[in-house]
Amino acid sequence: MDSQSTQSIQPEFRYIDGRRFHNVENAMYHLPNDENETDRLHLQHFLIRYLWQSNFSAPVDHNLSKPGAKVLDVGCGAASWSFDIATTYPLAKVIGLDISPYQPTTIKPKNFEFVKGNVQERLPFDDNTFDFVFQRFLVFGITKEKWTHVVNELVRVLKPDGFLELCEPSSVFDVGPATKRIWDCETKMLEERGCDFESYQKIEEYARNQGQLENIKKESKRCYYGTVYNSVEFSKAALSNMSYAYVSLKPILSKKLQVSDEEYDELTKISEKESAEHNSYFQIVRVYASKITIFEK
């Protein structure tokens, strides 16, 4: 059997300890893509939207309200952001791209379309296609050496005068010993995979070095787990997101930490309690810019 035939019958997903994961060659993303993870991603989306009081920072509201506007959500995952944008801007066409499909179908807006693709390779779109290109939380999905290529691809498919927005998180700060143990393990695993947990500090530089972007702006906010700066409700939601993330990472992290399932569960419970008590936080950075218009002579 030739390699092409072998590739064609490769299963879309793989299963570890009852959780479903991507099974795409050259894919870096290591979180599951089953219903439980979809629920967590929806929660994460609403947390970020509440924190920023917006779905994006780029000045594109007017453009997205026009008929025929085209939006690309790169690494759309469960399509929480895509569905929100498609519902808010019904005249726009929203395309969500990911390495495998696991978006809900029963609530899919009519103006949303899923396209399978890997941003670390070449995007399956023509040059100058989209009015707005959005990419969020792909620190787990992009290797350090690929970031420049990825930004170049995002700009390539962006129309002149269109806007690009990148959004990436940091690791957790002001942590207790249990949380540090978990995050040190997660960071080491990401580094072994070639990913860069410092990408949130570098996306502005990537945008500035790209060469076809202007009006580059950077915004930053902190998501706290305690109640010092947030309401009790927000703190509970943030801690729930952390808890669900720990559950999603369990099939991989418990093995990396060399602990039993019971020890892992206890460790994560301690981490959640610590994070509230220490008012631990992670930082979220948004960088947005417009593509330079090239005038013909």
Q: Give yes or no for a contact between 188 and 180, defined as CB atoms under 8 angstroms apart.
A: no
**Is 88 buried (19+), middle (13-18) or exposed (0-12) by CB count in 10 A?**
middle
Q: Which residues contact 216 (CB under 8 A, 6 or more apart)?
A: 204, 207, 208, 287, 288, 289
- Would you give the DSSP letter of residue 145? G
SS3 content of the chain, % helix, strand, coil (to 5): 40, 25, 35
Q: Are 69 and 106 in contact (CB under 8 A)?
A: no
By the 8 A CB rule, do 221 and 287 touch?
no
Residues 169, 196 contacting (CB under 8 angstroms): no
Which distant-in-sequence residues (6+ apart) come within 8 Å of 189 by Cβ? 30, 252, 253, 256
- C-alpha to C-alpha distance for 117 and 82, rounded to whole angstroms: 16
Q: Given the structure tokens 């090239």, which residue do they identify?
A: 294
Residue 33 has a pLDDT of 64
CA-CA distance, 209 to 57, in Å (whole number)? 21
Judge contact between 207 and 166, C-beta under 8 A.
yes
pLDDT attached to residue 8: 44
Q: What is the pLDDT of residue 17?
A: 60
CA 2 – CA 6 distance, rounded (Å):
6
Q: What angle do CA 251, 179, 197 make, to 5 degrees?
A: 75
Q: How far apart are CA 204 and CA 217, in angstroms?
A: 8
Distance (Å, whole) CA 244 – CA 19? 13
Q: Residue 234 carries which side chain, given as an amino acid letter?
A: F
- CA-CA distance, 164 to 239, in Å (whole number)? 30
Question: Which domains are assigned to the chain?
Answer: 14-291 (3.40.50.150)
Question: In 3-state terms, what secondary structure has residue 123?
Answer: coil
Task: State residue 74 phi and psi, 5-degree precision.
Answer: -90, 125
What's residue 129's pLDDT? 98
What is the chain's length? 297
Mention every residue, 6+ apart, whose C-beta is less than 8 A from residue 237.
43, 46, 47
**Could you list the pLDDT tens digit for every one of the 297 residues in the chain?**
333 333 445 566 666 566 556 655 555 556 656 666 778 889 999 999 999 999 999 999 999 999 999 999 999 988 999 999 999 999 999 999 998 887 777 889 999 999 999 999 999 999 999 999 999 999 988 999 999 999 999 999 999 999 999 999 999 999 999 999 999 998 888 888 888 989 999 999 999 999 999 999 999 999 999 998 889 999 999 999 999 889 888 888 999 999 999 999 999 999 999 999 999 999 999 999 999 987 443
pTM of the model: 0.88
